[in-house]
Chain A
């Protein structure tokens, strides 16, 4: 059975294959009622309206059905029984389970108890492979991924999207520039792993040091909760904010991405520059998730 749990499970050709399929869906090259007789269970134990809607949209576009359990309903299920039991029960209803859960490793565990494929839609601070795939897809639509320079900016310590994107990019000979405030740097163990995978990783404190060299700038949210008080948060957040005046002398094809929702990391004035690609990125969630759903339920 084909589960989609962690970007670590994928080799380059697996990623390329899925991205190629996503591109076909994006171009409308598919049978419209491809998943007509299929039903997906969207089990979102932790709220994420955006991801849930994008999986539901993908299912609907393929002519499939879904049952959706939101975080309020899910939390009452979860209180009463183990995830393992919930998954065993849902396996009897659905042809695939899409799971968002607050605990790291929840999707891996689910895949061990499910008798249908499981797609990880985010597990705690852990993995979120469909996000990574849509990030990669967005980059790949604009330029060949091989050998480019990518900057990851923001909370690289807790930001799961940054970790799994970095792992995926390590399969493409990308040079990675990490730009994070003190205390929110990418964990040493991840940097170690990336270097073991042959990736060149350069650490920075200041985005201006490296902005002109970048092909892609991936911005992640810096959360207020990570700071002891508002003053230190605003201080850091303002020095990591992307504004139009920073974007002089950048590469012409620079693309700025963000997994959304954003807080103050990107000045809305940046939206009007040609570099802003985060809404396009969000839209790409649909064809990418269509490809994933189709692959696991074929």
Chain B
């Protein structure tokens, strides 16, 4: 089994139940966690491996979250910064489900609108909402277009 065979190169200890996010664009692991709302103060048991060698991507990051099965809608948000990520649901040490990530059409509550005059940056009871377009992310309220460095705008 992989966890006992060092030649398979499993960098972090195996988990019994949880989620493995594999094939994350190298260097984006921390942003992935940020998007998923997993921060230092949350209770999940996490392992992160960055710049791991990978056949497919050259280098990649991997994130493992114990005892939590991430839902598809939660995970799709990371497609913005890690389009090749694979989500592996682990049950009893085995990969029970594997799925890719798909960029959602609408992003709610993920990025903050960079426009200081935008109504979403005031105390109104609303969530930031962006339409995902080929050209970037367009604020549903003020039409501001975020073209790159999306990770810089993550809430």
Write the residues of chain A forming the contact surface with B, with a CB cutoff of 8 angstroms: 6, 8, 82-84, 101-106, 108-109, 112, 123-127, 189, 192-193, 196
Contact = CB atoms under 8 A, between A and B. Distances in A.
A83 B124 contact: yes
Contacts of B118: 103-105
Contact of A104 (B115, B124, B145): B115
A98 to B, nearest CB: 17
A106 B117 CA distance: 10
A103 B122 contact: yes
Contacts of A189: 135, 145, 147
B135 A109 contact: no
A192 B124 CA distance: 31
Nearest to A103: B119
Contacts of B135: 189, 192-193, 196
A104 B126 contact: no
A105 B120 contact: yes
A84 B125 contact: yes
Contacts of A103: 117-119, 122
Contacts, number: 57
A106 B147 CA distance: 23
Contact of B140 (A84, A108, A124): A108
Contacts of B123: 82
Given A104-B142, A105-B142, A189-B147, A124 B117 contact: yes
Contact of B126 (A6, A84, A123, A193): A84
A84 B124 contact: yes
A109 B124 contact: yes
Q: Which of A84, A104, A112 has the most CB of B within 10 A?
A: A104
A112 B143 contact: no
Contacts of A106: 119
Nearest to B136: A189
A104 B147 contact: no
A112 B124 CA distance: 12
A83 to B, nearest CB: 6
B141 interface: yes
Per CB-CB distance, the 7 closest pairs between chain A and chain B, nearest first, are A105-B141, A104-B142, A105-B142, A105-B119, A189-B145, A103-B119, A106-B119
Interface string B138-154: 01111111010000000
Contacts of A196: 135
A108 B141 contact: yes
A6 B138 CA distance: 14
Contacts of B125: 82, 84
30 contacts: A6-B143, A8-B143, A82-B123, A82-B124, A82-B125, A83-B119, A102-B117, A103-B119, A103-B122, A104-B115, A104-B118, A104-B141, A104-B142, A105-B118, A105-B120, A105-B139, A105-B140, A105-B141, A105-B142, A106-B119, A108-B140, A108-B141, A109-B119, A109-B120, A109-B124, A109-B126, A123-B119, A124-B117, A125-B117, A193-B145
A109 B141 contact: yes
A166 to B, nearest CB: 13
A189 B147 CA distance: 9
Contacts of B120: 105, 109
Interface string B84-114: 0000000000000000000000000000000
A124 B119 CA distance: 9
Contact of B143 (A82, A109, A126): A126
B119 to A, nearest CB: 4
A110 to B, nearest CB: 9
Q: Which of B139, B142, B147 has the most CB of A within 10 A?
A: B142
Given A82-B124, A105-B139, 13 more contacts: A84-B124, A104-B118, A104-B143, A104-B144, A105-B119, A105-B120, A109-B119, A109-B120, A109-B124, A109-B126, A123-B142, A126-B142, A126-B143
